[in-house]
Amino acid sequence: MSDERLGDPERSGRALAAGRTILVLRRIVPVLVASLLLSTPVVTATLVGDLTGDAARHLAAEGEPLDYAVEPVSLGVTGDRLVAVLAGVLVIVSLVLLVRATATRTLDPRWWTVLVPLVLGGVLIGLSWRIVTAGVIGANIGAGLVVLAGGPVLLVLLVAAMAQAFRVRRRQRMMG
């Protein structure tokens, strides 16, 4: 019976399709990683929202100009929502396909030890963006704290990811 199964065109067609899927996943993994890393800060900033305080909003409504450490960038309500939705879709699709690539062994699971600190860095960047672009009256103390504390935390995350990437790559080379 095993000889009959080997000649089964349906079964060999499924094997060929699975092979093509793995090949496509292997080729797009770098694109998926880049999409995930670039869209994570946008999604984070969108989910956090504007951090301008109620008192500052009230004074701005009365005509008092707000002070910004960094002026917020806006594409208008529609543009901002479109970018946020696109970034959200990219995060979800990238994560789903990266998990699938890991499940099919197209992506070595050890690479997640590199990806997680990088994604956390993206979350930190998105949160930092919202803090430094918050409208205030006077000095934005949060912006100073983000620079003093967030910068070193981001550096640690990036160095940890880089060190782990070297370890994973070295193990892959040793295993052939």
108 pLDDT above the threshold of 60: yes
Residues 6+ apart with CB under 8 A from 104: 21, 22, 25
Q: What integer is the mean pLDDT of 147-162?
A: 96
What local confidence, expressed as pLDDT, does residue 3 receive? 47
Q: Which of 104, 101, 52 lies closest to 74, judged by CA?
A: 52
86 contacts 17 by C-beta, under 8 angstroms: no
Percent of the chain with pLDDT over 90: 61
Decide if pLDDT at 66 tops 80: yes
The answer to whether residue 136 scores a pLDDT higher than 50 is yes
Assign 31 a pLDDT band (cuts: 50, 70, 90).
very high
Across the chain, mean pLDDT equals 88
Cα 51 to Cα 119: distance, rounded to the nearest angstrom: 22
**For residue 16, what are the CA distances in angstroms to 6, 45, 101, 137, 138?**
13, 42, 17, 64, 65
Look at residue 8 in the predicted model and tell me its pLDDT.
57
> How is the chain split into domains, by residue range?
2-175
Q: What angle do CA 162, 167, 172 make, to 5 degrees?
A: 125
